[in-house]
Structure 1
């Protein structure tokens, strides 16, 4: 046993450090599907103090540490190499406090998003962040990657749901800024250094989350439009009518819509015809009018010719059936050999980008299969190419083609999945040399020995 592993066993106990055959396969990778290696060990701390101990010992030994949450990431940010020690937050679970006066919840980083959502509802509040992996992903990981999800158009990203953080830095120091205050203008806001840093600057151990008032009712509709510009017009018309009651605005091109329908319970489209583009829309209000205002607004858009057709859910079961089409993303890695992209572009350019992407892909790889969908209300487009449809073509070659297009459109190579290891070579497509230099300076200051999540986010100099 290597000295650093023995030191961790001595500090945490044998039951909190896994080695060799005791390391289960789940610690080897995430949903990105990237090839994995067995780490040197997996540390399972139960408290912030134990996280601090792990990092202090590893920093002294110049030992690389890979933080792990729910392992639902798609950018390879939690994948270890054979020489790394994984630090899993899975035992740091629990809701410490719900403060109704401050409308906050204090949680440990290993708590799942779904647990937070359910506790907020039980206390008469809502936690605004929501994504398909809610039952597995952990709050610490959500914050470390600045997760987005389906309600960013209404409530913002994970960054916008946090008032306070507790973080352990590379040398084992504990930074505790567990503020419950919305206004706290006292110098540098350190929490934003760590939110979105993917565990390369420190490990989030606790958080003070912002809660929102419960919305009395959510109405859901699946709408058909003639083209992308009509979809944007529909979004802006509904926002002008409902303001921030527009809770979700998801766009599905026919390729993805048909894929989603094929995995639905009925395997039949809610429509009697095929359409050029589909929008799944949620209106969440503070007064329950039975969806009358929402239906009336959609009817106005139908009469104006903006909508071609619409299906409004009349029950919770129908709502779940409509969302099941959009959340068929869980089937992508099961049914395809997916090469996934999560990009962000100016909202007005997304339709043209999709057309350009189709054209370039078809010219280079005739017969390829790809699906397009996204949260266009917050400028996020997802593209998945089936690697089986382009035999002999590497994922890296597809990456170069698509990310070059993103660069030409002045977009972002990552909207919500983070950079991890998979997008690391392309970070310069969306960030300037001066920005990268500042990022490296911050990394050097907070983690001078570069032990935290080595090989992630920042490309080599």
Structure 2
């Protein structure tokens, strides 16, 4: 490490920086499965001005900066570099204000998503973004990756929940654009440059979040469908009949449902009979009785029309948690499967059923012992695939698997990333779902905002 740079860091950020072997191992990797890397230094600022000071120095000395939030990303977006410093926002936590009139919340970027959800509920409001990693992921990371989650069909992606941002640019400039107004068309909407940019254009330090009215009740039902065509018919009916009360529409193929419910004895298996596909529907509304009656009516008609073969309606919050536990059992993958190759892709709902059938068959033809699990937020065109080749042990053929899956996604006109970002792992495949003209514009923006290429260097784009 440049001695002058190290001395300058110590002088500017005393108490907020550590070097080399003193860096805790948890900051050496994210959840992507990439091999741990020890960075040159770890900076853990307490306030925005310290972030600005860190970036000024790194920009001056040309040192890469890798921002980290809750480290729950799966694309390698928070993976360190041996020649760079890690900038963790884990100390920049806290809810600064909840405005119940404007229905906004101002938070620091390191605040966990679950903390934000709880604070909104305590204030009689509701924050619509929800992920399985809610207690670990941070809002800064959610915004940097434009996270999706379980309720996108109703409330949209992360960017739909943001009114304003405070961002630090590569040269240390602090841009405070903490707008609280729902309508504000005064020039460019600058926050959109940074939401979904994975820390390559600037570091989000604070955010003004948009809250919603708190639903009076939420009701969940688990459905068994004959096949994927029936799933699509059920989704059309639910959208038409339930309107904005349709909060989640999660689909699980037998590959996922059978593997997880057989492997985890603690999971409640809703049905004794097998079905062609499984759907978890969540409905929200102001009136609990009316909400339940509407969902019951939709399910009854779907049974009569053959869209579903069986259904279980949650009668209590505990029932709902049990039903959702099947879908959220993904946190147990490592215990059941070992090393994984995971995919988060987007496809038109019309082609998803055939895509899953073909990709699972292709895996089995190439690797007869392959475990391939398919599930996703099909109401918003998001499909997840997880694979493991038992015979390969710890040496999974990740690259060959990625070539197979992303090639098929490109041919189907889909996107290689629906909600987890590009990071390092998906960067080689970005051109499959972005045109040369789109990539050229991205590179222009990157060069304009980060001319020395210090922000999350090597992620998303090769510039």
What is the TM-score of this pair, normalised by structure 1?
Answer: 0.97
State the distance in 2 between where 1:262 and 1:172 align: 52
State the distance in 1 between where 2:28 and 2:35 align: 9
User: SS of the counterpart of 2:120?
Assistant: helix
Once the two structures are TM-superposed, the CA of residue 295 in structure 1 deviates from its matched residue by 1.4
State the distance in 2 between where 1:266 and 1:209 align: 36
User: What is residue 303 of structure 1 aligned with on the other side?
Assistant: 304
State the distance in 1 between where 2:459 and 2:335 align: 26
- Counterpart of 1:374 (choices 364, 373, 376) is 376
8 Å contact kept, 1:36–1:81 = no
Are positions 1:284 and 2:287 aligned together? no
- Counterpart of 1:443 (choices 439, 442, 446) is 446
8 Å contact kept, 1:216–1:285 = yes
8 Å contact kept, 1:215–1:285 = yes
8 Å contact kept, 1:112–1:137 = yes
Are positions 1:11 and 2:17 aligned together? no
Once the two structures are TM-superposed, the CA of residue 190 in structure 1 deviates from its matched residue by 0.9
Residue deviations 1:20-42, cap 9 Å, x none?
Answer: 22211110111111012100010
Identify the range of structure 1 (251-260 vs 219-228) with the bigger mean alpha-carbon deviation.
251-260
User: SS of the counterpart of 2:352?
Assistant: helix
User: What is residue 134 of structure 1 aligned with on the other side?
Assistant: 134
Once the two structures are TM-superposed, the CA of residue 108 in structure 1 deviates from its matched residue by 0.3
Are positions 1:67 and 2:67 aligned together? yes
Are positions 1:328 and 2:329 aligned together? yes
Residue deviations 1:207-242, cap 9 Å, x none?
Answer: 000000001111101001011111111011011111
State the distance in 2 between where 1:86 and 1:329 align: 28
User: What is residue 36 of structure 2 aligned with on the other side?
Assistant: 36
Aligned length: 459
User: SS of the counterpart of 1:256?
Assistant: helix
Residue deviations 1:80-123, cap 9 Å, x none?
Answer: 11111000000100111011111000000000000000000000
User: What is residue 455 of structure 2 aligned with on the other side?
Assistant: 452
State the distance in 2 between where 1:44 and 1:84 align: 14
User: SS of the counterpart of 2:384?
Assistant: strand
User: What is residue 190 of structure 2 aligned with on the other side?
Assistant: 190
State the distance in 1 between where 2:214 and 2:288 align: 12
Matches of residues 248-263 of structure 1 in structure 2 within 5 Å?
248-262=248-262
8 Å contact kept, 2:150–2:248 = yes
Are positions 1:416 and 2:411 aligned together? no
- Counterpart of 1:353 (choices 342, 355, 365) is 355
State the distance in 1 between where 2:322 and 2:381 align: 25
8 Å contact kept, 1:222–1:281 = yes
8 Å contact kept, 2:267–2:322 = no
Once the two structures are TM-superposed, the CA of residue 363 in structure 1 deviates from its matched residue by 2.3
Are positions 1:398 and 2:396 aligned together? no
User: What is residue 272 of structure 2 aligned with on the other side?
Assistant: 272
8 Å contact kept, 1:91–1:110 = yes
8 Å contact kept, 1:260–1:327 = no
User: SS of the counterpart of 1:207?
Assistant: strand
State the distance in 2 between where 1:227 and 1:7 align: 63
Residue deviations 1:370-398, cap 9 Å, x none?
Answer: 10000000000000011434566520111
User: What is residue 314 of structure 1 aligned with on the other side?
Assistant: 315
Once the two structures are TM-superposed, the CA of residue 4 in structure 1 deviates from its matched residue by 1.7
CA RMSD of aligned residues (A): 1.3
User: SS of the counterpart of 2:288?
Assistant: coil
What is the TM-score of this pair, normalised by structure 2?
Answer: 0.97
Change (3 A) 1:358 1:284: same
Once the two structures are TM-superposed, the CA of residue 265 in structure 1 deviates from its matched residue by 5.5
User: SS of the counterpart of 2:70?
Assistant: coil
State the distance in 1 between where 2:266 and 2:78 align: 37
User: SS of the counterpart of 1:289?
Assistant: helix
User: What is residue 146 of structure 2 aligned with on the other side?
Assistant: 146
